[in-house]
Chains A and B, each alone.
Chain A
Amino acid sequence: MAKPVIEFDHISKSFEIGKLGSETLRQDLIKYWKQLTQKASLNPSNDTFWALQDISFSVNEGEVIGIIGRNGSGKSTLMKILSRVLLPTTGLIRGKGKISSILEVGTGFHGELTGLENIFLNAQILGMKKHEVTQKLDKIIAFSGIEEFINTPVKRYSSGMYVRLAFSVAAHLDADILILDEVLAVGDADFQKKCLVKMRELASNEGKTALIISHDMQALRQLCNQIAYLEKGKLKEFGAPTPTIAKYLYQEKIEFLGQVYISPDEAPGNQYLRVKKVSITPSERVNQIIYRNATLSFELEYWNLIPDISIMVRLFVFSFSGECLIQIDTPLKNLGVNTLHCVTGTIPSNYLGAGSYYFSVYFLDADEHKVLGFDTCLSIDLAGKESIILGDIPQAHVSSILKLQYI
């Protein structure tokens, strides 16, 4: 039985551009004076920016809602309104239950205080009572994995330790409704997995309602029941995760499956090499969604502008969090001046797990010195029914399956 716990009722939020803190009394007085003397009201829409317009949806108990959209689409503003940091300009939000919002990990951490002192401070800022923190203290410290440094001032922490401690506090918050903004993207890969598991536990097992802002589509697909897709402050789509995410990626052209250039002059590159075309082609897509069982064909064409050089092309595939999952080379090839060269490769179906991936192409000479680097030139998002987080694959295994070669 779905019981609504939050209802957004036509929420809009406007900001006055240019007035944010910079306006002085003098400027305002001049404005009021002009308004008085000219008896013409200044056009209010002129310097008003609508960060959110007419957002309405409701969240049922126990649901996890993912919020996606480009930077500046109003995701954070919406969450700030829900956590009462900002007031809406018009509209109403009704709800029940206690809300805890983590719009940033480590809010209120103070460098001079020790880890332990910061746990208490941070948890209390986030709305916990002292005795609740004391109860959970052991768990929080254990989860962070930095027991030995708990009495060290946090200004001596590495940024990784800092973030671990901060997330541990956040993960142990007690609330009926949890708001998380981008907190998934913290720490090293290991800790991220730990966070993901913890978040799932929070979201599913304990029947908690959660609203999550993230750019990690795979994590959202795993965690969420519904996705709200915001575009320029408007609610563009609200629905089931996989189709909504696919629509978002397709419409916002975040998946970047290829780039082609016609002449060497306009192509990206340097005085040695120019890239004509780089692309990745899935064997099939269903309603704009690329599933992980599609075969992916990689294609690269480039011009060589200088005589007598041998080039080896290296392809990297990175996960969303920046881990290098695949690194594979072509054999070295001697190139003639002003010639066009072509490299192809295939990633078999079901080889990559569901998730977002970035591709980088490097051109190396015989001594493996970088001649040209073409970073994050492609990206793709793969959907899958089952959710596998790809671990480390031994290199030998990779090159036995994947072949990258000149043709």
Chain B
Amino acid sequence: MKLDANQIDDWEWEIKPSVGWFDFSFKKILNHTDLIWSLTKRDLQSSHKQTVLGNFWLIFQPLITTIVYTLVFANIIKVSTDGMPPLLFYLTGNMLWSFFADSMFGSLYTFRTNAHILSKVYFPRIILPLSSVLVQAYKLGVNLLFFIVAVLFYQFFTNWEVSFNLNLIAIPFLLAFVALYALALGSFSFILTTKYKDLENIIQLVMRLYMFVTPVFYPVSLVSKELSWAFWFNPLTAIFESFRACYSLSEFWTMELYISLGSITVFSMIALLIFRKFESKFIEVL
């Protein structure tokens, strides 16, 4: 038996019929950082090649949506924006929501668009949704630049005052949590939808409804007291509100924000562990 033990020590890796619940290593993912960047670059480059306006499209689409929101919600329906300039209000809502939803769907569909690679090469599968989230992060970055320009415009050309404060530093931190939430939700949805494509329709529907229960085009202050508690169950609510608090005078570090970040962390950990456990089985039926 002693000899056997020695031999087992000698092997460096094992391929077994199933993956353990905690069989993951960040080191392996970090080993593939080059690949993550390359895949991100591929997606960005290939979407820009043979277009005349290139990056401009990244701003153009959310800009038009924002203008439409502003017209419809602020001017026609007259929804309150908590005293913020409506354009800025809808720009943040729209920007954050697109980042979340596009990252989530990106993480979900990346497995299908890259199925030909998955069936031929192994690398930690989480790399694919990670790079789709990075693609969206780039788009968000371009939009943030535009957003900053818009904020400065309001600062200098209108009588509305931005409250510049230290909380601005925390914005990337908030965005990272949105990204993590989208990544986990998208990867988890992949596990759900691969075998049962019916669920894909449900997920699309749920995501559309999710937008309406997230303060994308209205502030939470508009929600009646009896209902508002239910609102805070949605971890995105606090993040959206706090993001807007950065440049208005509301409070940033609310109890709700802590709860939201905490619940995103817990949910994402569980979702990603489930993903890791079952990824191979579902990529097989892809």
Chain A: residues with CB nearer than 8 A to chain B? 7, 19-21, 23-26, 28, 80-97, 101, 103-104, 107-108, 110, 112-113, 117, 120-121, 124-127, 129-130, 153
Q: When chains A and B are docked, how far (Å) is the Cα of A107 from the Cα of B46?
A: 16
- Are A93 and B15 neighbours in the complex by a CB distance under 8 Å? yes
Interchain CA distance A113-B48 in the complex, whole Å: 11
With A19-B285, A20-B285, A92-B14 as given contacts, are A85 and B119 in contact (CB-CB < 8 Å)? yes
CA distance A103 to B117 in the complex (A): 10
> With the chains together, A112 CA to B50 CA distance in Å?
9
- Residues 10-22 of B, flagged 1 when their CB comes within 8 A of A and 0 if not, give 1111111111000
Contact B18 A87 (CB under 8 A): yes
Question: Within 8 Å of chain A (Cβ to Cβ): is B281?
Answer: yes
For the complex, what is the distance from the CA of A81 to the CA of B14, rounded to whole Å?
A: 11
Whether the pair A124, B35 counts as a contact (CB closer than 8 A) is: yes
Residues of A contacting B253 in the complex (Cβ-Cβ under 8 angstroms): none
Contact A124 B34, beta carbon cutoff 8 Å:
yes
Q: Which listed residue (B8, B17, B116, B286) contacts A107, Cβ 8 A?
A: B116
User: What distance in Å separates the Cβ of B154 from its nearest Cβ neighbour in chain A?
Assistant: 39
**Is B17 within 8 A of A89, CB to CB?**
yes
Q: Which residues of A contact B118 (CB under 8 A)?
A: 85
Given A19-B285, A24-B196, A113-B46, check contact A108 B121 (CB 8 Å).
yes
Which chain B residue has the least Cβ–Cβ distance from A128? B34
Give the interface residue-count category, chain B: 35 or more
**Contact pattern, B 56-94, Cβ under 8 Å of A = 1, otherwise 0:** 000000000000000000000000000000000000000
Given the known inter-chain contacts A94-B11, A153-B49, please indicate yes or no for A101 contacting B121, CB distance below 8 A: yes
Q: A112-B49, A121-B39 are in contact. List 11 more A-B contacts (CB 8 A).
A: A20-B285, A85-B118, A87-B19, A87-B281, A88-B17, A89-B17, A95-B14, A103-B120, A124-B38, A125-B117, A127-B123
Per the bound structure, the CA–CA distance linking A87 and B20 in Å amounts to 13
Residue of B nearest to A7 (CB): B11
Q: Is the CB of A86 within 8 A of B13?
A: no
* Given A25-B198, A25-B199, also A84-B46 (CB < 8 A): no
Report Cα–Cα, A42/B43, bound state, in Å: 45
Chain A residues with CB under 8 Å of B196's CB are 24-25, 28
Cα A88 to Cα B194 with chains together (Å): 20
Q: Residues of B contacting A84 with CB < 8 Å?
A: 15, 122, 280
Minimum CB distance partner of B286 in chain A: A21
Is B208 among interface residues, defined by CB-CB distance under 8 A? no
Complex CA distance for A104 and B116, rounded to whole angstroms: 10
Name the distance in Å between B159's Cβ and chain A's nearest Cβ: 48
**Is there a chain A Cβ closer than 8 Å to B45's Cβ?**
yes
B49 and A82 contact, CB distance less than 8 A:
no
Collect the chain B residues with CB atoms within 8 Å of residue A21's CB.
Answer: 194-195, 285-286
In the assembled complex, the Cα of A153 lies from the Cα of B42 at a distance in Å of 12
CB-CB under 8 A from A117, the residues of chain B are: 41-42, 45
Contact B122 A97 (CB under 8 A): no
Chain B residues within 8 Å of A153, by CB = 49
CB of A102, distance to nearest CB on chain B (Å) = 8
C-alpha spacing A395/B46, complex, angstroms: 50
Name the one of B42, B46, B121, B198 contacting A85, with C-beta atoms under 8 angstroms. B121
**Hey, which chain B residues are within 8 Å of A7, CB to CB?**
11
Chain B residues, CB < 8 A from A88: 15-17
Q: Is the CB of A82 within 8 A of B123?
A: no
Residue B197 at the chain A interface, CB threshold 8 Å: yes
A11 — nearest CB in chain B belongs to which residue?
B15
Which of chain B's residues has its CB closest to A181's CB?
Answer: B120
A110 touches which of B46, B50, B122, B194 (Cβ 8 Å):
B46
Q: Is B284 an interface residue (CB 8 A)?
A: yes
Closest chain A residue to B199, Cβ basis: A25
Q: How many A-B residue pairs have CB under 8 A?
A: 112
Contact A112 B45 (CB under 8 A): yes
Q: How far is the CB of B207 from chain A (nearest CB, A)?
A: 19
A110–B285 touching, CB < 8 Å: no
Q: Distance (Å) between the CB of B43 and the closest chain A CB?
A: 9
Are the CB atoms of B284 and A110 closer together than 8 Å?
no
Give the chain B neighbours of A126 by CB distance below 8 A. Answer: 121
Q: Which residues of A contact B42 (CB under 8 A)?
A: 110, 113, 117, 121
Complex alpha-carbon distance, A130 and B39, angstroms: 13
- List the B side residues contacting A129 at CB < 8 Å: 34
Q: Residue on A with the closest CB to B39? A: A121
Residue of B whose beta carbon sits closest to that of A3? B10
Closest to B48 in A: A112
A85 touches B12 (CB 8 A): no
Decide: A112 and B46 in contact? CB cutoff 8 A.
Answer: yes
Distance in Å from the Cβ of B279 to the closest Cβ of chain A?
10
- CA distance in complex: A93, B14 (Å): 6
Partner among A23, A101, A127 whose Cβ is within 8 Å of the Cβ of B195: A23
- Asked if B280 and A86 make an inter-chain contact with CB atoms under 8 angstroms apart, the answer reads yes
* CB atoms of B117 and A95 under 8 A apart: no
CB within 8 Å of A: which of B258-286?
280-281, 283-286
* In-complex Cβ contact of B121 among A86, A92, A95, A107 (8 A): A107
Least CB distance, B145 to chain A, in whole angstroms = 25
Q: Is the CB of A125 within 8 A of B17?
A: no
Residues of A contacting B45 in the complex (Cβ-Cβ under 8 angstroms): 112-113, 117
* Min CB–CB distance A12 → chain B (angstroms): 9
Query: Which residues of chain B come closer than 8 Å to A87, judged between CB atoms?
Result: 15-19, 280-281, 284
Residue pairs across A and B with Cβ atoms less than 8 A apart, 25 shown, are A21-B195, A25-B196, A28-B195, A81-B15, A82-B15, A83-B122, A86-B284, A87-B18, A87-B19, A87-B284, A91-B17, A92-B15, A95-B11, A95-B14, A101-B120, A101-B121, A103-B120, A107-B116, A108-B116, A108-B117, A110-B46, A117-B45, A124-B34, A125-B123, A127-B123
* Beta-carbon nearest neighbor of B202 in chain A: A25
Whole-angstrom distance between the Cβ of B7 and the nearest chain A Cβ:
9
Write the chain B residue with the least CB distance to A86. Answer: B284
- Using Cβ atoms and an 8 Å threshold, which residues of chain A touch B14? 92-95
A129 to B39 CA separation, bound complex (whole angstroms)? 13
Most chain B CB within 10 A, of A7, A23, A85, is at A85
> B285 contacts which chain A residues (CB < 8 A)?
19-21
When C-beta atoms are compared, the residue in chain B nearest to A108 turns out to be: B117
Contact partners of A28 in chain B: CB under 8 A = 195-196
Asked if B13 and A94 make an inter-chain contact with CB atoms under 8 angstroms apart, the answer reads yes
Contact, CB under 8 Å: A107 / B199: no
